[in-house]
Structure 1
Amino acid sequence: MKIGTLAGRTGTNVPTIRYYESVGLLPAAVRQEGGQRVYGDADVERLTFIRRCREFGFSIHQVRSLAALGRDQSRSCLELRDLAAAHLSDVRTRIRELDGLAKSLEAFVDNCDATCAGGAGPDCTIIDDLSKAPKRCGCDTGSVRS
């Protein structure tokens, strides 16, 4: 199949397929006489795997590691589990950070609604709030206090 067909079957755009080839996630395609790439069912499966990994937020490096572990009979699935568990921990950390961000933004909006909504833009409390340095908790982690 040609690259456009592969793109359609996997929901991946053509430039992304070319990129995955260039970074070695997807093996370089066989070329026809005219230079067009030709793909098979194994490429559909591999690209679907890559796309799903990326949808779950795995980095290119992590996808490469997962793929390599999945092809190596001498490696334990515990290594795959450990990689996924580490990624899960990172995702949970980001969720906590995003929750803090959402609370801060909610406070900006609530403050605006209570004090200046409908007024002149330069007088908006959101501009004032964003212009102030965040309050720090005093600990070494640099966490922001809401």
Structure 2
Amino acid sequence: MALMTIGKLSGATAVKVTTIRYYESIGLLDEPQRSASGQRLYAGDSVERLRFIRHARDLGFPVSAVRELISLQVEPGRECVLVDQIARRQLDEVRRRLTQLEALEAELKRMIRACEGGKIGSCSVLAALGQHENCLHEQHDGAEVLAGLPSRGA
């Protein structure tokens, strides 16, 4: 198969060029060949690897788990118990995030219901945002939950 530039690899996998470079820098993708002018040149197996990484990231697997999964691929005859453990850890993490998101949803609904309109100075939504103790649910750290979700193109 012919070698391709980083732009063509990006187009073939829908992964941004900057993300491809990042995956190279952290060792998820092998260092590509270089042309005489220094341009990155990728073989066809880079497409497969990048699609694998992207799909794993879309499913929320952290980079460390993706690295583990890639390292396990080199031994196709090995039992897949380790892969199963990694997938189960990810499922547990997804369940934890869902619980947090449900608490976040309940708190936001409660804040919105408490809002009676009126003036900004007496807004219950702003009051709840300003003082966490006004919240009914302690387990709704939405920033942490949402930060754990994969972004498109990454």
TM-score interval, smaller chain? 0.7 to 0.9
Do the aligned partners of 2:5 and 2:39 also contact (CA within 8 Å) in 1? yes
**Counterpart position of 2:24:** 21
Structure with more contact order per residue of length (Cα contacts < 8 Å, sep ≥ 6):
2
User: How many Å apart are 1:74 and its aligned residue?
Assistant: 5.6
Larger radius of gyration: 1
Q: After TM superposition, what 4+ stretches of structure 1 lie above 4 angstroms from structure 2?
A: 134-137
User: How many Å apart are 1:72 and its aligned residue?
Assistant: 2.0
**Counterpart position of 2:123:** 124
Q: Which runs of 5+ in 1 are unaligned?
A: none
- Aligned pairs for 1:1-146 (under 5 A) are 1-73=4-76, 75-112=78-115, 115=116, 117=117, 119-130=118-129, 131-133=131-133
For residue 53 of structure 1, give the secondary structure of its aligned residue in structure 2.
helix
Q: What one-letter code is carried by the residue in structure 1 that aligns with 2:74?
A: R
Q: Distance in 2 between matches of 1:127 and 1:9?
A: 46
Do the aligned partners of 1:3 and 1:14 also contact (CA within 8 Å) in 2? yes
Do the aligned partners of 1:136 and 1:143 also contact (CA within 8 Å) in 2? no
Q: Distance in 1 between matches of 2:22 and 2:65?
A: 16
Q: What one-letter code is carried by the residue in structure 2 that aligns with 1:65?
A: E
Residues 135, 121 of structure 1: CA spacing in aligned structure 2 closer, same or farther, 3 A cutoff? Answer: closer
TM-score by length of 1: 0.86
Residues 31, 79 of structure 1: CA spacing in aligned structure 2 closer, same or farther, 3 A cutoff? Answer: same
Q: Distance in 1 between matches of 2:50 and 2:139?
A: 39
User: How many Å apart are 1:136 and its aligned residue?
Assistant: 8.0
> Matched residues, percent identical?
37
Q: What one-letter code is carried by the residue in structure 1 that aligns with 2:69?
A: L
Do the aligned partners of 2:127 and 2:134 also contact (CA within 8 Å) in 1? no
User: How many Å apart are 1:69 and its aligned residue?
Assistant: 1.0
TM-score by length of 2: 0.82
